[in-house]
């Protein structure tokens, strides 16, 4: 059973240290490839904003190896 990534805010740390991660990269891919104006990412405090930005950073940096085993 994978551990929960409590307090971990970077995509790279979650993937490389085998923490539980719910993969939503297909949603991010759609957001990036089909822009429909300006996006306002409003989320409650401590609800994944930093992790989303970290994931976007890894995507735009071309870090394909981090995404290869995601379902």
Domain boundaries, the chain: 11-66
The dihedral over CA atoms of 68, 34, 21, 62, expressed in degrees to the nearest 10, equals: 40
Closest by CA position to 13, among listed 48, 45, 54: 54
CA atoms of 47 and 5, how far apart (whole Å): 12
pLDDT of residue 44: 80
Q: Which residues pair with 3 in a beta bridge?
A: 19
Q: What is the mean pLDDT of residues 45-55?
A: 84
Cα 57 to Cα 1, 2, 8: the distances in Å are 28, 24, 16
Q: What is the mean pLDDT of residues 58-64?
A: 92
- pLDDT tens digits, residue range 17-39? 999 988 888 888 888 888 888 88
DSSP percent split of the chain into helix, strand, coil, nearest 5: 40, 5, 55
């Amino acid at each position: 059973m994978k551990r929960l990534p409590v307090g971990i805010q970077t995509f790279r740390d979650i993937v490389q240290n085998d923490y539980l991660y719910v993969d939503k990269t297909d949603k991010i891919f759609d957001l990036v490839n089909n822009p429909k104006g300006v996006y306002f990412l409003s989320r409650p405090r401590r609800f994944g904003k930093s992790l989303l930005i970290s994931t976007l950073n890894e995507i735009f940096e071309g870090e394909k190896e981090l995404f290869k085993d995601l379902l």
